Structure formats: structure tokens, C-alpha cells
A and B are shown apart, each in its own frame.
Chain A
Amino acid sequence: MKKLMTIMGLLTITLLGGCSNSDQEVLNVFNWGEYIDHEVLDMFGEEFNVRVNYDTFDSNETMYQRLKAGTTNYDVVIPSDYKIERMIGEGMVQQLNFDKIPNLQYVDPEFQNLVFDPENLYSIPYFWGTVGILYDTTVVTEPVDSWSILWNENYVNNVYMYDSQRDSLMVALKLLGYSLNTRDVNELEAARELLLDQRDLTNPVYVTDTVINSMIAGNSALAVVYSGDAAYIMDENPNMNFALPKEGTNLWVDAMVIPTDAGNVDLAHEFINFMMRPDIAQMNTEYVMYSTPNIKALEAIQNEEWTQNVAYNPSKQILDEINLEMYRDPGDFLNEYDKIWTEILAESR
């Protein structure tokens, strides 16, 4: 017994002791899950002789909670547009020193100075995309150009909606012709009624990430997906196609920011600059398959097949035609959204 204890004690000490590499600088990065090519992190670590700690989150809200809790001082965080807006408003992020980010020149100006960071002081875009309808061409033979197809009784038990409060409400709001940032309770309630009707008509399943594997396997005819996921699914399952509905949809941008309490601000800038280097941005977008705002990287991969679909690379024409709206921070109104959303989901089956 005693022997065992001493051995374990020694083991613990050696293991814990061996774990710290205190001579290197450390960079703490907080990003979405599976949203980076890990090789890129290794390359950064080697080039700058630092250790990169990489933590992940699965939703903006979890990220926000963790940041507020302050359990780790992250140097670089990659949230979504509306959350960045909130973080700027609450002073959680600091202004960037653009002298240290010369690679900004490669970023498409279309993705700078967006609504959540109008003077582009706090963020550098990372990936962007839209939300649209993924459909199985072998099952859906009619043209797909409207959200209303998800209410079409012909596709009963064959529809996936996205288990995301804002995205699903967005579908209903757009179909009704309202803004996806509405603060009008009546409009929200109308959206709720529409979504409850949908449950009677097509009995949709609200899925999250399981949608990707599921659609690759062809388990459903229709699904609401993010454009980046669509690009990946379409690459794996040639029967699938993607469409942006005429009523309009959401344009989203995830961007890199530096929290106010970051430990290593200079290194954070280096990292952001590094990520915008054309070859790095190219590696990243090829791995994650989400659309990149990096002009040079986009040029370099024009020849690859999977980049030529409307999910990954919608043409300028489409982008102009379709009404694309970005999410704004709803502030306290979030409670209303939440109440409506819970009501939609929790209605007895």
C-alpha cells in the first residue's frame, strides 16, 4: 500500500513537472471546434518559437460565458459578428494595432468595416458564409429557391432545421418578409406560429452538427445548413446541391479579436497577421472548407472543383440579388427571442 502511494506520488510529480515548458512564450487561442488546420498552429509555433494553447467552443454563447468567467486569458478569440458587436460594446476586446498586421492588404475590402465593427478597429475577418438550403437532387426535382419548400408537405419527415435559435427564427422571419434582427414582438410571434405550423406540416427534426454526416449519408431530402458545411457535404456526396432562397438569408462573418485582458498582445498580433498570410489562409480554407475573405488565397484555389459551387463561392451576381442581412446583437431583447424559441421547441410532440 505504502509503496504504491510513493510510486504514484513520484509519477505525478514527474508528469506534472515534465508538462511545463516555461522557457517558451505561450499563445492562448480560443476558436470554434474544427475550425482550423492544426498544421497551421504547428507552423506558427515553429516559426515564432512559441507554444500555442488551443481551446475550442461550440457556440458564441459558451465562448462569451467562458470569457466573462475569465478562467483563461485568451490572446486571440474568433467569435461571430453579432457577438463581437456585444463584446465591443462591453469593452471586452481591444483595438488592433494595424501597423502589426500588414497582411490586411490581402483581405477583401467587402468584409471590412461591417456593421458590427464599422470602423474596423477591433477585428479581422476569418471565415464568412451564408445560410441556405441543402437538398438531395435525386429526391427534390423541383427548383429550390424559397424557404417555403421546407413547409411543403411532400417532404414530410424529410426536413432538417438547424437547432440554432437565430438561424431557425431567421428562416421564418425572412419567409414572412421581416428583418432577422426584428425587435417587434408581434413579428416574432408570427414567426413562432409559422414554425409551429411547420411542425404539423413537415415534422422537421432540429439538428446541429449531426446534419453534416447525416446529409452525406443522404438521410434527408432537405436541410438548413451553413454554406461551409454545404461545401463539405457536397464534396462528399455529389447528389447534394445548395441554394440561397429569394426571400433572403443571413450573411455571417467570424473574425479574430484580441480580448482586453490578453496576456501577450504582440504575439496575438503576430498570430492574426500570420493567419492572413495567403499561403496560410489557403491551407486553412482548404482544410475547413469555409469561405475565406483572403483574396489571394481565393485566387490560388480557383481551379479546385469544390470551390466552384454556390455554397463556397457564390457569384457576385447572386450576392447582389439576394437580400443578405447580418445578425446584430439583440441586447436584452434576447430574452424575448429565447422565450419564443423555447416555446417552439418544447411544444409537445
Chain B
Amino acid sequence: MVKKWLSNFYLALVFLFLYAPIAVLIIFSFNDSKSTGHWAGFSLRWYQDLIQDSRMQSAISTTVIVAILATAIATIVGTLTAIGIYKLTKKTKAFVLNVNYLPIISPEIVTAVGLMMLYRSLKFNFGFMTMLLAHIMFCIPYVVLSVLPRLYAMNPNMAEAAMDLGATPMQAIRKVVIPEIKPGILAGSLMAFTMSIDDFVISYFNTGNGVSNLSIEVYAMARRGIRPTVNALATIMVALVLITVLTANKIALKNKKEV
């Protein structure tokens, strides 16, 4: 059918658009020159560089750990917050929602500086914990944004019915509400993870004592041209995700066949 072919073609086009720069990044990770201005021949030196660069590696691990932790915590807190907001009266609800969305609406630098001043007044030691806290704080609104619509789409009587049948509130939430809003939670955590893993401004202002994440390192390198070591990293990341997705897909297919 023409329609199927057309739609697949369109998808492929957009796909191409999204991955064009990634392809360029991957190609230049094999470039035998520090600058991305010209091609100087094939080389694996940047991969070697990556293995030897302990500073980069600690930045990478910080980024990943913060992203995973922040996403996990923000998802839990965000979901609970969403449920809480759902139950509020109209007036308080509007106010609370406004506050909740403040981090999304504000320019990043305003959130960054605001959080920094908050932590400073609380006399926190700047470093890993402040970065993590800051990430959690700006991830929560995204989770709430994703979960709330699902809450509203859910039949409000289901939770009531469950409790009438003898379930405790916690049980009602866990066994009735959460499965209903699961897509929203997943989408929210995906968003949170994406925002966290790539964050620069907020991280930069809320860290210290040598704790750095990938974005900060890349930004620092930008002054003299980003070393292709980062390209090598990007290539590895892409490869990892691809492999994970393909394997997961294979497993899913296998499971289907077995059933």
C-alpha cells in the first residue's frame, strides 16, 4: 500500500534529520586531528584518550549516577505530588501548579541561580549532593506534567471502589492507581532522565569542589574546540543504546514466540 510506504518513508526522513549530526559526530570520532575543521585520516586515538582520561571518566560517572538517581527520586516524588495535587481543591490547586511549573517556565539560569542561593543560605557544601538535589528539583515538574493528565483520564471511582472493597489507601494507590497512570509515569521519567543527563547551566552553578558532569566538561572544552574524545564517548553511548534496544527487542520477540 502506498500509504504504508509513504509513512515509513516520512519516518525515515525525520529519522535521518535527527541522526545526521550524530552521524557526523561518530565519523569525526575517528578523525586523526584535534580539530573538527578538517579530516586528517582514520585513527582510534580518541578512544585511547577516553580510556586514559580519568577526569572525563569521573565526569561521565557523575553524570550517569546523578541522572539515574535524580530520575528515580523525582519519579517517586513527582508521582506522589501529582496524586496529592489531584486531590486538592481548585484554588490551592491552581497556586500549587503555578509553583510547580516555575522551574520549567523560568529561563534555566534563573532556576540555577535561585537554587544556588537557596543552598548557599542553607550553608550546604557544594558538590555532588547539591548537584543531585538541584537535578531532583528541576525534574519533578516534568514528572508531574506527565502524570497529571493520566490521573484525570482515569476513572475517579476506581480508587474509591477499591477502598470500599477493603483496600488500604496505600494498597489502593499501588494496585489500582499506579497501573492506570503507568504510561504517564514512564513518560515522565523518560523526560526527567533526558533533562538531567544533558543539563549544564543548573549543574554548573550548583556544584563545586571539582565535581563535574559531562556537560560542564564539554562546555569547558568548547573554548579551544571540543576534543574528539567527547565524540568517541558519544559514539560509544549510541552503540550502547542501540545494542540495548536491539537486544530488548529480540528478547521481547522471543518471549512472544514462546508464549
Which one of B208, B222, B224 lies within 8 Å of A232 (CB-CB)? Answer: B224
Answer whether A55 and B222 are a contact pair too, CB < 8 Å, given A8-B72, A217-B37, A236-B33.
no
Complex CA gap A218/B225 in Å reads 15
Residues on the B chain within 8 Å of A218, using CB: 37
Answer whether A33 and B37 are a contact pair too, CB < 8 Å, given A19-B128, A28-B209.
no
Within 8 A of A (CB), among B197-238: 208-210, 212, 216, 219-225
- B109-133 interface bits toward A, Cβ cutoff 8 Å, 1 = contact, 0 = none: 0000000100110000010100000
Answer whether A55 and B212 are a contact pair too, CB < 8 Å, given A8-B72, A213-B225.
yes
Q: Which residue of B lies closest to A211 (CB)?
A: B225
- A213-253 interface bits toward B, Cβ cutoff 8 Å, 1 = contact, 0 = none: 11111100000000001001000110000000000000000
Complex CA gap A26/B208 in Å reads 13
Q: Which residue of A lies closest to B73 (CB)?
A: A8
Q: How far, in Å, is B143 (CB) from chain A's closest CB?
A: 17
Complex CA gap A212/B221 in Å reads 12
Q: Which residue of A lies closest to B69 (CB)?
A: A12
Which one of B36, B72, B224 lies within 8 Å of A33 (CB-CB)? Answer: B224
User: Taking each of A19, A38, A229, which has the highest tally of chain B beta carbons within 10 Å of its own beta carbon?
Assistant: A19
Q: How far, in Å, is B1 (CB) from chain A's closest CB?
A: 44
Q: Which residue of B lies closest to A53 (CB)?
A: B210
The answer to whether A71 and B208 touch across the interface, beta carbons within 8 angstroms, is yes
Interface status of A69 (Cβ within 8 A of chain B): yes
The answer to whether B126 and A32 touch across the interface, beta carbons within 8 angstroms, is no
- B87-120 interface bits toward A, Cβ cutoff 8 Å, 1 = contact, 0 = none: 0000000000000000000000000000010011
- B38-75 interface bits toward A, Cβ cutoff 8 Å, 1 = contact, 0 = none: 10000000000000010100000000010001001000
- B128-153 interface bits toward A, Cβ cutoff 8 Å, 1 = contact, 0 = none: 10000000000000000000000000
User: Taking each of A35, A72, A215, which has the highest tally of chain B beta carbons within 10 Å of its own beta carbon?
Assistant: A72
Interface status of A58 (Cβ within 8 A of chain B): yes
Residues on the A chain within 8 Å of B208, using CB: 55, 71-72
The answer to whether B128 and A16 touch across the interface, beta carbons within 8 angstroms, is yes
Residues on the A chain within 8 Å of B168, using CB: none
Q: Which residue of A lies closest to B55 (CB)?
A: A38
The answer to whether A236 and B35 touch across the interface, beta carbons within 8 angstroms, is yes
Within 8 A of A (CB), among B154-173: none
Q: How far, in Å, is B118 (CB) from chain A's closest CB?
A: 12
Interface status of A70 (Cβ within 8 A of chain B): yes
Q: Which residue of B lies closest to A59 (CB)?
A: B223
Interface status of A108 (Cβ within 8 A of chain B): no
Which one of A33, A55, A69, A70 lies within 8 Å of B223 (CB-CB)? Answer: A33
The answer to whether B35 and A212 touch across the interface, beta carbons within 8 angstroms, is yes
Answer whether A54 and B55 are a contact pair too, CB < 8 Å, given A33-B224, A71-B208, A232-B224.
yes
Answer whether A216 and B222 are a contact pair too, CB < 8 Å, given A15-B65, A69-B116.
no
Q: How far, in Å, is B180 (CB) from chain A's closest CB?
A: 17
Complex CA gap A229/B222 in Å reads 13
Interface status of A266 (Cβ within 8 A of chain B): no
Complex CA gap A35/B220 in Å reads 10
Q: How far, in Å, is A27 (CB) from chain B's closest CB?
A: 10
Residues on the B chain within 8 Å of A15, using CB: 65
Complex CA gap A212/B35 in Å reads 9
Residues on the B chain within 8 Å of A212, using CB: 35, 224-225
Answer whether A58 and B209 are a contact pair too, CB < 8 Å, given A69-B120, A70-B120, A236-B37.
no
Residues on the A chain within 8 Å of B37, using CB: 213-218, 236-237
Complex CA gap A284/B219 in Å reads 21
Complex CA gap A69/B121 in Å reads 11
Complex CA gap A159/B94 in Å reads 52
Answer whether A217 and B120 are a contact pair too, CB < 8 Å, given A16-B128, A72-B208.
no
**Known contacts A209-B222, A212-B225, A237-B37, then 9 further A-B pairs from the complex at CB < 8 Å, ordered by chain A residue:** A26-B209, A28-B209, A32-B223, A34-B223, A71-B120, A209-B223, A215-B37, A216-B38, A236-B33
Q: List 27 A-B contacts (CB under 8 A).
A: A12-B65, A12-B69, A16-B128, A19-B128, A33-B219, A33-B222, A33-B224, A34-B220, A34-B223, A34-B224, A35-B223, A54-B55, A56-B216, A58-B219, A58-B220, A69-B116, A71-B120, A71-B126, A209-B222, A209-B224, A213-B35, A213-B37, A216-B35, A216-B38, A217-B38, A218-B37, A237-B37
Q: 5 closest pairs, A vs B, by CB?
A: A53-B210, A217-B37, A33-B220, A72-B208, A216-B37
